[in-house]
């Protein structure tokens, strides 16, 4: 890990195996959040020197192609596309990524060895997101170039193991770059992750809460008003542990019985069918793939239709009373909406300040005013 010879301003960099792998200036990733990580946010993240990742699960193939081209029209920096490995058209989406010359393919679930090989043969960097050491070992053995490891603090679908426990397990288990996710917002967190062997950090909620994010202002205000204890984990949206803001709607979902949940899921499945253009046969096919990949019950597969439409209600339509707001616990510490350029520049400045403080500490020099971080 090396820094440049410049100061601690926005241009200060840290070179790690991750930045060298994907060709970005800073070891920071903006994650592929459904309905949030669109062309505007991704290009702003990329122009700030981070790796922006476009979320494609809620897009049709043609919408994805259009989004990729829009990102490219806004930036000449590397960016990635996040894919659902269990989607029925995953192979077609991989072909699109290759045709369009996208630098990075990330996956919410472990992709098959064949998909990894196809992407790598085309020169695409493959970075799956994982939540357990054994999953990291599996995709590394299959040829993944790096992994994003998310601890339980992270938003959306999440596990039970904290980042500080999961990260060193994965770092010790694989010999590819590991990017830490779950609980990060500033330069101090970046340095902490690097100290545990990570090659960078990935952030979702922190990038959602920027001025470049297209999430409606009223929804951003809900996040900014939340405290750490206002962020909960529920299984009532789609049957899987899902970290989100605790709202009156979430409280009502927690109280609802199974018949009401299944009826809601059917309604949302019809809504997603209309939005995506998928036929019922294709949705059933994807459900079968999801059921196999996650070992779900049929009730859970049906409930999965809730996730995209309930997120859309908040993140696109601006109706938190009708939708849910996936969130990392770190939202309780965030109180501002910087641009992506301001955010990344601030993170890197704080990281360098923290590294200098640690170096002085090692040398036995008192350091007044050590960095405190800013939301």
Query: Once rounded to an integer, what is the mean pLDDT over residues 305-334?
Result: 89
Determine the pLDDT at residue 310.
81
Q: Give the tokens for residue 145.
A: 């170039």
21 pLDDT more than 80: yes
Q: Give the tokens for residue 302.
A: 């049906």
Q: Which residues face 150 on adjacent strands?
A: 181
pLDDT tens-place string over residues 253-289:
787 766 665 666 566 555 555 555 555 555 555 555 5
Instruction: Kindly indicate the confidence band of residue 6, based on its pLDDT and cuts at 50, 70 and 90.
Output: very low
The rounded distance, in Å, linking the Cα atoms of 77 and 60 is 24
> Could you state, in order of their start, the residue ranges of all structural domains in the chain?
2-215+333-362, 227-326
Strands of the chain, DSSP E = 2-3, 14-15, 28-30, 51-55, 79-83, 104-107, 125-130, 147-150, 156-157, 178-181, 200-203, 231-234, 242-245
Q: What backbone phi and psi angles, to 5 degrees, belong to 266?
A: -65, -40
Q: Give the tokens for residue 343.
A: 């955010």
Give the architecture (CATH level 2) of 2-215+333-362.
Answer: Alpha-Beta Barrel (3.20)
Query: Once rounded to an integer, what is the mean pLDDT over residues 89-104?
Result: 96
Check residue 330 and report its DSSP letter.
G
Note the maximum CA span of the chain. 67
Per the model's pLDDT, the better-predicted residue between 169 and 301 turns out to be 169
Determine the pLDDT at residue 261.
59
């Amino acid at each position: 890990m090396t820094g440049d010879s410049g100061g601690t301003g926005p241009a200060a960099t840290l070179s790690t195996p991750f930045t060298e792998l994907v060709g970005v200036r800073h070891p920071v990733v903006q994650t592929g959040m459904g309905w949030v990580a669109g062309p505007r946010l991704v290009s702003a993240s990329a122009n700030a020197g981070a790796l922006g990742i476009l979320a494609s699960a809620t897009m049709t193939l043609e919408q994805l192609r259009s989004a990729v081209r829009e990102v490219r029209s806004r930036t000449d920096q590397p960016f990635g596309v996040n894919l659902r490995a269990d989607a029925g058209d995953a192979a077609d989406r991989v072909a699109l990524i290759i045709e369009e010359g996208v630098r990075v393919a990330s996956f919410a679930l472990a992709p098959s060895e064949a998909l990894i090989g196809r992407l790598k043969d085309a020169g695409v960097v493959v970075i799956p997101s994982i939540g357990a050491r054994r999953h990291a070992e599996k995709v590394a053995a299959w040829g993944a170039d790096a992994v994003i490891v998310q601890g339980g603090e992270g938003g959306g679908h999440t596990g039970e193991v904290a980042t500080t426990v999961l990260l060193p397990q994965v770092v010790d288990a694989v010999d590819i770059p590991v990017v830490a996710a779950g609980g990060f917002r500033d330069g101090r967190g970046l340095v902490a992750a690097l100290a545990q062997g990570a090659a960078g950090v990935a952030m979702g909620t922190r990038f959602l809460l920027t001025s470049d994010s297209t999430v409606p202002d009223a929804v951003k205000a809900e996040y900014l008003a939340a405290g750490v204890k206002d962020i909960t984990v529920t299984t009532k949206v789609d049957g899987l542990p899902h970290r989100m803001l605790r709202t009156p709607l979430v409280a009502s979902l927690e109280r609802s019985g199974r018949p009401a949940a299944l009826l809601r899921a059917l309604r949302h499945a019809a809504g997603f069918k209309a939005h995506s253009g998928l036929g019922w046969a294709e949705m059933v096919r994807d459900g079968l793939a999801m059921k196999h990949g996650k070992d779900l019950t049929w009730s859970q597969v049906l409930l999965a239709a809730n996730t995209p439409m309930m997120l859309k209600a908040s993140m696109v339509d601006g109706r938190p009373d009708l939708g849910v707001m996936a969130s990392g616990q770190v939202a309780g510490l965030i109180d501002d909406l910087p641009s992506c350029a301001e955010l990344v520049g601030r993170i890197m400045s704080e990281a360098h300040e923290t590294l200098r403080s640690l170096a002085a500490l090692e040398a036995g020099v008192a350091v007044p005013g050590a960095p405190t971080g800013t939301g």
